[in-house]
Structure 1
Amino acid sequence: MSLEQLPTETLILIFAHVHPNYIAPISRLNRILYAKVYGLWFDFLFARTNLMNHIGAVKGDFLTMIRAKRTINFHVLPLSYHAAFLSIFGLSMKSIDHFEVSFDPYTFDASFTRRGIRILPAVKLAQQYKFMKLDANNAYLLSLFASMFADIDLLTDSMEFKTIDKNTIFSWGCAGNQTTTVNHLLDLGITPPASSLIVAANYGHQQIMERICPRDASAHSFYPSTLSVALIAACEKGQLEAVQYLITCEGTDVSHNKNSALVTSVTRGNLALVKLLMETGRCDASDQDNKCILVACSKSFTEIVELLLFDGRVDPAANGNAPILAAVEAGNLRIVKALMNTGRVDAAVGQNRLVQIACAEGFTQIVEVLLQDPVVNPMVKDCDAFIRACKGGYLEIAEMLVAWTGPEEWEENKVNPAAQSNAAIIYASRHGHASVVEFLLRQPGVNPSVSNNLPLFEACANGHLPVIQRLSTKNLKLEQGTLTRCLEMSSKNGHVHVLQFLAKNYTLFQSSISAKCLLAACERGHVGVVDFFMGEWVCEFHPQTLARALAGAAQGNHVGVVKRLVDVNVVYSFGPALVKAAGLGHTEVVLAVLSCGRKVVVPHEAVMSAKDKGIKMMLQAAIGKRGA
């Protein structure tokens, strides 16, 4: 007989012993069975029996265990299981936590009213079946839930116990925006605590605020400091209407705690609140060492900065011109202009740090604005601003700086493109800024051959062919040692296109090829570079160099390079490569060498160093063939 054929009464007894997590999915597994026991798990008595059976099967502290391992998924179970659970373990912080509902009685988290909406109905369901009652142990929590869900009857009953904290109850009613609760508590003659107004302001509950705190100071019991703290709380959450109401209340100090309301609004970037607070004329935007303007500039709150500057007390040059430094670092042209238009900032602060930052970051328009100020000198630190612009590849800024002319009374009033031993062209070449290099080559005094042709070396090392091409237009006469270094770095980094260009344009190319070129390319697995050298340039390498190159490729497990090297029509030893590959277990490398079609002498050292049995067998077989 199948389960579907059993009487419903029998099925109930069976399912009472099923794990709670497995009951809900039955509707998806067997529709016939589900139809017979439909509504079973919605029944409180069944849910309680089912939970009790499960508890009996668990050893140890059941409540601690299920909280730790989440053995019961209450979020998929109906209300009956929540009620059954509370009827067994009671209502406590520990039992609530198992429903995966975080709750702290003193944080006044209004979102709890959405997360914990099942708790109070579950309690009432358990009470309906006489398995739970209001007592001193649960009265405190029940009073809080009753307050936040406006259950006046339960609230009235729970307040008869001495454990009740009326201030907390009041504040939870305000957090939940329960006007009914608040009115009931006021009718009982309970004075609203300070936290109730702060909570209401924080969540923007306008009606609650108007009810507990009328504008007339004589009509409420709050201290002026409480109103001011509530104002700050409203600003933290951007509650515009709450702020509008509080600033009209008698006793509210808009500048409380060093103008924290304004500072908070600026920090949050809330233009409407900043405007509202400043229009009162009762706050000082320069308080806390001009923190408002500093924060607004650092966060690029442009409109707020412009608004703050209307207050003559605000110092745009505060803390060593920190506001304009922050604005330049953020690249905010509009704020930079607004600050400079005040005529109160020093655009040359910190040895012309502003223009250096703008040049390094490529803020062209900001550089243009700064250069219009006669105190700005981009030549400081040996034209460091110009070098930074070239390093970043900002051609327009570089052109702007070269065209700039300082006051005539200065001993030097022009930027030197060759400053710091031609650092500009060296950096531009290193980073591949071909257009900047081309521009620099046209400037008088710039020497592309500086430091033994360092610009060309940097371009070759980093594979910047367009830069190399532009540098080569100067008909550089490279010494063999310089060209060799360029070849070695290009080979090491796998820049085949650079090698091809150098081979075509420099007569000393062949004589400059060194063993390091091939060795570096093989060790790093640059097949393209190896192909290039194994063409018409293979004769430039000694057989011993080829053996070392093959060993380097074998050690790095670069199979493609190994295959290319063993195809070279030059006699050299494969032994070192086999020893390296065998010792490191590089099977494909060993196969590539042994199957190259040439006579391969396998050294006994390779067999001895082989850790892989397959490799050892291949090497022994190769030795056997040679012996035969």
Structure 2
Amino acid sequence: MDENTFKLLVKLTQEGQLSSLQKQITVVGSTAVQEVRSKHFGRSGDTLLHYAARHGHLDIVEYLIKQLGVDMEVCNNDYKRPLHEAASMGHSECVSYLLEEGAKVDSLKKADWTPLMMACTRRNLDVIQQLLCHGADPKLHNKDGWNSFHIACREGDPLVVEHLLHAAPYVWKTESKTRRTPLHTAAMHGCEDIINILLERCGYIPDSPDSCGVTPFMDAVRNGHISVARMLLEKHQASPVAADVLRAQPVHQVAVTGQEEALRFLVQELRVDVNQRATDLQLTALHYAAKEGHVSIIKTLMELGAELHVKDIKGRTALHMACIGQHADAVRTLLLLGLKDSQDASGTTAQQLARKPDVVQAFECGLTDS
């Protein structure tokens, strides 16, 4: 069978034109049916059954399985089965049919994702219920250590999260390979409704750290989710000054991510020390903000009482850090605020670290006495 014919078959399948598909396959003859049945297309290696399931064309799915004898467990190059495709796209009727026909409910695609995990990314409760009723295991982990509950907490649908907890009451008691819990996931993505459910129904320990020492509170503030951070403080006794493995506190982390509202929340509302040091290098939030080039954070830090001339253990000021990051606007801002260039412990000035033309130019504008 020539390539143009195959392309036509794919097009007809994707568009859901069953009668035209049947006619075209009849035209190519019975000797070509075996070729149609086993043909994998393109880089993905999808079969016609994958296309039909992905687009939710139940009549074509039935035709391919019942009349052409396509294996419902056929894999593409990512080891996806048709059930993965139907579940990931929320096609309830196709999912139901494949399960009734005996499709393996917990089949694994690349990276060990199950159909249930795929369904949780779409927040489709009907599909999730069908999979669970056919024995899907929500406790299975993918290669990163995430289970379906992690994924549901990321997506933020309370009905899905509640249903998974009902189906498997201890499904919350899980960690990824980096020791991140569903509470971390929900906090990172600002899912307030999910945080409420997790704090009420699950037994998470306050400030449980992942492998980097990051707590759910840190995840919330460094992503700008102030309301979630407040919930963790009030309902879970989270600490606003807990430190990660590098001894960086939330005040340092929000300086890195450029979250101005979170910075004000920490310093003004929670009275966190804006000049608190982090890591063995004794870096302040001002050092971090300068290295990332966050001009608005630099200005806010100064407004909140940050020490402009503070140096880390290597004798570097925020000006050194701005030059290390090659951030011309940050250099100009620090110079305008009155920070003079100086030598670090190795005798290197910030100006000597400038490489990009606009950073060099910032020093050549006469804003420093160096």
TM-score, normalized by length of structure 2?
Answer: 0.70
In structure 2, do the counterparts of structure 1 residues 470 and 540 end up closer, same or farther at CA, with 3 Å as the change threshold?
A: farther
Structure 1 residues 453 and 543, CA gap change in structure 2 (3 angstroms): closer
Work out the percentage of aligned pairs sharing the same amino acid.
18
Write the distance in 1 (CA, Å) between the matches of 2:356 and 2:6: 66
Using the alignment, how far apart are the partners of 2:170 and 2:7 within structure 1?
A: 51
Equivalent residue in structure 2 for 1:428, among 182, 186, 193 = 186
Q: Which of the residues 356, 362, 365 maps onto 1:588?
A: 362
Runs of 5+ consecutive residues of structure 1 not aligned to the other structure: 1-228, 239-261, 405-412, 595-599, 603-628
Say if 2:207 is the partner of 1:460.
Answer: no
- What residue identity is the alignment partner of 1:466? S
Given the alignment of the two structures, is residue 492 of structure 1 paired with residue 256 of structure 2, yes or no?
yes
Contact 1:293 1:314 in 2 (8 A): no
Matches within 5 A, 1:257-296: 270-276=17-23, 287=34, 290-291=37-38, 293=49, 296=52
Instruction: State the alpha-carbon separation in 1 of the partners of residues 182 and 232 from structure 2.
Output: 14
Cα distance in 2 for partners of 1:480, 1:354 equals 38
In the alignment, structure 1 residue 553 sits paired with structure 2 residue 322: yes
- Give 1:577 shift: 3.7
Which residue is equivalent to 1:470? 231
Q: Partners in 2 of 1:414 and 1:285 — Cα distance? A: 51
SS of 2:261's equivalent in the other structure is: helix
The answer on whether the counterparts of 1:355 and 1:370 sit within 8 Å (CA) in structure 2 is: yes
The equivalent of 1:520 in structure 2 is: 288
Partner of 2:172: 417
> For the structure 1 residues 466 and 290, does the alpha-carbon distance in structure 2 shift closer, same or farther, using more than 3 Å as the test?
farther
When the two chains are superposed, the root-mean-square deviation of aligned CA atoms in Å is: 4.2
Could you tell me whether the CA contact under 8 Å between 1:559 and 1:592 is conserved in 2?
Answer: no
Structure 2 distance, partners of 1:443, 1:526, is 39
**Partner residue of 2:207 out of 449, 458, 462:** 449
Structure 1 letter corresponding to 2:192: A
Alignment of 1:202-221 (within 5 A): none
CA-CA distance at 1:496 after TM superposition: 1.6
Q: Which has the higher contact order (CA 8 A, sep 6+)?
A: 2
Matched to 2:91, the amino acid is N
SS of the counterpart of 1:512? coil
Per the alignment, in what secondary structure is the counterpart of residue 252 of structure 2? Answer: helix
Does structure 1 residue 379 correspond to structure 2 residue 139?
A: yes
- C-alpha distance in 2 between matches for 1:502 and 1:347: 47
- 2:159 maps to amino acid: E
Q: How does 1:240-259 map to 2 (within 5 A)?
A: none
After TM superposition, the structure 1 = structure 2 runs for residues 189-200 of structure 1, keeping only pairs within 5 Å, are none
What is the Cα deviation at residue 236 of structure 1?
A: 6.1
2:334 to 557, 565, 569: 565
* Code of the aligned partner of 2:18: L
Describe the shift of the 1:590–1:395 C-alpha distance in structure 2 as closer, same or farther (beyond 3 A). Answer: farther
C-alpha distance in 2, partners of 1:549/1:356?
45
Distance 1:505 1:588 in 2: 36
Q: For residues 47-446 of structure 1, what are the structure 2 equivalents within 5 Å? A: 270-276=17-23, 287=34, 290-291=37-38, 293=49, 296-298=52-54, 300-308=56-64, 311=67, 314=69, 317-319=72-74, 322-342=81-101, 344-350=102-108, 353-373=114-134, 375-381=135-141, 384-404=147-167, 413-420=168-175, 423-446=181-204
Question: 1:501–1:319: structure 2 CA closer, same or farther, 3 Å change rule?
Answer: same
> For the pair shown, which has the larger CA radius of gyration, 1 or 2?
1
Question: CA–CA distance in 2 between the matches of 1:234 and 1:542?
Answer: 69
Read off the aligned partner of 2:289 and give its amino acid letter. A
Cα 1:368–1:475 change in 2 (3 A) is same
Displacement of 1:503 in angstroms is: 1.0
**When the two structures are aligned, how many residues end up with a matched partner?**
330
The letter for the 2-side match of 1:396 is L
Between the aligned partners of 1:491 and 1:567, the Cα distance in structure 2 is 20
**8 Å contact kept, 2:275–2:307:** no
Residue 522 of structure 1 contacts residue 550 of structure 1 at CA under 8 Å; is this kept in 2? Answer: yes
Amino acid at match of 1:502: L
Residues 286, 306 of structure 2: 8 Å contact kept: no
SS of the aligned residue for 2:284 comes to: helix
Tell me the CA shift for residue 386 of structure 1: 0.9
8 Å contact 1:316–1:339 — kept in the other structure?
Answer: no
Summarize the Cα distance change of 1:283–1:555 in structure 2 as closer, same or farther, 3 Å threshold: closer
> What is the rounded CA distance, in whole Å, between the counterparts of 2:223 and 2:81 in structure 1?
38
Residue 498 of structure 1: how far off its partner (Å): 1.3
Give the whole-Å Cα distance in 1 for the aligned partners of 2:268 and 2:153: 29
1:450 CA displacement: 0.5
1:533 aligns with 2:301: yes
Q: Which amino acid aligns with 1:534?
A: M
Relative distance call for 1:361 and 1:370 in structure 2 (3 A) is same
Amino acid at match of 1:358: A
Q: Which amino acid aligns with 2:140?
A: V
- On the 8 A contact 2:217/2:240 being kept in 1, the answer is no
Instruction: Give distance in 2, aligned partners of 1:501 and 1:345.
Output: 51
TM-score normalised over the length of structure 1: 0.44
SS in structure 2 of the partner of residue 531 of structure 1? helix
Post-superposition shift, 1:558? 3.9
Kept after mapping to 1: 8 A contact 2:73/2:104: no
On the 8 A contact 1:285/1:314 being kept in 2, the answer is no
**Cα deviations by residue, 1:462-511 (Å, 9 ceiling, x for unpaired):** 33333323222233235564584222221122222111111134344356
SS at match of 1:502: helix
Q: What whole-Å deviation, never above 9, does each CA across 1:304-323 have from its counterpart, x for those lacking one?
A: 22444564x74664448933
Which amino acid is 1:475 matched to? Q
The 3 A distance-change label for structure 1 pair 454 and 264 is: closer
AA at the equivalent of 2:162:
E
Which residue in the other structure is 2:43 paired with?
Answer: none
Q: Aligned to 1:362, what secondary structure does the other structure show?
A: coil
For residues 284 and 509 of structure 1, what CA distance do their matches in structure 2 show?
78
